[in-house]
Amino acid sequence: MRPARALIDLQALRHNYQLAREVTGAKALAVIKADAYGHGAVRCAQALQEQADGFAVACIEEALQLREAGIGGPILLLEGFFEADELALIEQQDLWCVVHSLWQLELIERSAVRKPLTVWLKLDSGMHRVGLHPADYQAAYRRLLASGKVAKIVLMSHFARADELDCPRSTEQLAVFEQARQGLVAEVSLRNSPAVLGWPQVPSDWVRPGIMLYGASPFEQAQALAARLQPVMTLESKIISVRELPADEPVGYGARFVTERPTRVGVVAMGYADGYPRHAPTGTPVLIDGRPSRLIGRVSMDMLCVDLSDLPGTGLGSRVELWGKQILASDVATRAGTIPYQLFCNLRRVPLLYCEA
């Protein structure tokens, strides 16, 4: 079998979830949208089920996949519904539903729902993506309650720049939220991963950790709480070919790397078709049999090359960690001009292997 694979450490996942709860003292919805950021939503939900206060996904398709796998308890649809006919399923499957726009509110009012819904009413406090305008917020809250279709409302908003710890924008968004919700007696939910770790002053009955569950820091710089996260995914493969090249020889497509000295090149069974970023440049860190080395040349679809020159004893069959406990996905992401979220979500073709420890 091809040796490329992703190991998923479920114990680390539980540790990271527990950290989110511990540092906030809040209830936490484990955000497992997009197949748990590539980690496998069903297996992650099963691993967290005993502990978790609930789960959050992007859409009803993702929620139904969890229900079909036997996941009970709260599941929040972070974008609510897209079409009116989803409401019957939301009711039947007992899903929680974000309302981020007036058209959704109107559809709830006109729906035939009999068992009142739990709605998370989203405010646009300054991100300007989705969410109700502050001027409409209180009226929307009252209309939902008056509709008879809603039993409970949680007040929510989302930060645009919580990963920037010195940026005043989150404090401004919080002030807009506080103003808009004045006088409403309801639970609140504002904090995603960077706000869980970096913004202790933000009130929360419910937090919504995503990326931190998978052990990647949402911050670019070091941060004390983020240092306690444990990476969940190890993307690994093996060396399948080795060659000794003299100086001045090109390696890979486009000759993007030319040997500066006699170089021992290892070829790894891993490429951009597996989700390893094609834009990772020469110098991106890799780990070979536990020792640090670097990517060289262009990443191709199924293979990439690494430098074995300074690693005597390594060669055919050596184990290569592309990211995991030693090589942080955030570091690889930074080199490739992206974020760990995207690296995880882009994972494909490689089998996911789950381990408890």
Ligand X SMILES: *Cc1c(COP(=O)(O)O)cnc(C)c1O
Site string for ligand X, 148-187 (x = CB under 6 A): ----------x-----------------------------
Closest CA to 270 of 218, 192, 334, 347: 347
CB of 143 to ligand X, least distance (A): 22
**Judged by CB under 6 A, which stretch of 104-112, 144-152, 207-215, 277-285 contacts ligand X?**
207-215
Secondary structure class of 15 (helix, strand, coil): helix
Catalytic site includes residue 325: no
- CB of 244 within 8 A of CB of 262? yes
The DSSP line for 138-165 is HHHHHHHHHTTSEEEEEEEE--SSTT-T
CB of 350 to ligand X, least distance (A): 22
Phi and psi of 16, rounded to 5°? -70, -40
Which residue, 31 or 60, has its beta carbon nearer to ligand X? 31
**Judged by CB under 6 A, which stretch of 42-50, 103-111, 208-216, 282-290 contacts ligand X?**
208-216
Size of the site for ligand X (CB under 6 A): 11
Q: Which of 80, 209, 275, 340 is in the footprint of ligand X by CB under 6 A?
A: 209
The answer to whether residue 57 forms part of the interface with ligand X (CB under 6 A) is no
Structure token digits, residue 295: 């990517």
Contact positions with ligand X (CB under 6 A) in 216-275: 218
CB of 300 to ligand X, least distance (A): 30
- CB of 319 within 8 A of CB of 238? yes
Which residue, 56 or 288, has its beta carbon nearer to ligand X? 56
In this structure, which amino acid lies at residue 40?
G
The answer to whether residue 318 forms part of the interface with ligand X (CB under 6 A) is no
Burial class (CB in 10 A: 0-12, 13-18, 19+), 352: middle
Closest CA to 14 of 340, 357, 347, 346: 357
- Packing angle, helices 41-48 and 10-24, rounded to 10: 60
Catalytic site includes residue 33: yes
The answer to whether residue 340 forms part of the interface with ligand X (CB under 6 A) is no
The answer to whether residue 31 forms part of the interface with ligand X (CB under 6 A) is yes
Q: How many residues are given for the chain?
A: 357
The answer to whether residue 192 forms part of the interface with ligand X (CB under 6 A) is yes
Residues that bind ligand X (CB under 6 A): 31, 33, 78, 158, 192-193, 208-211, 218
Which of the residues are catalytic? Answer: 33, 253
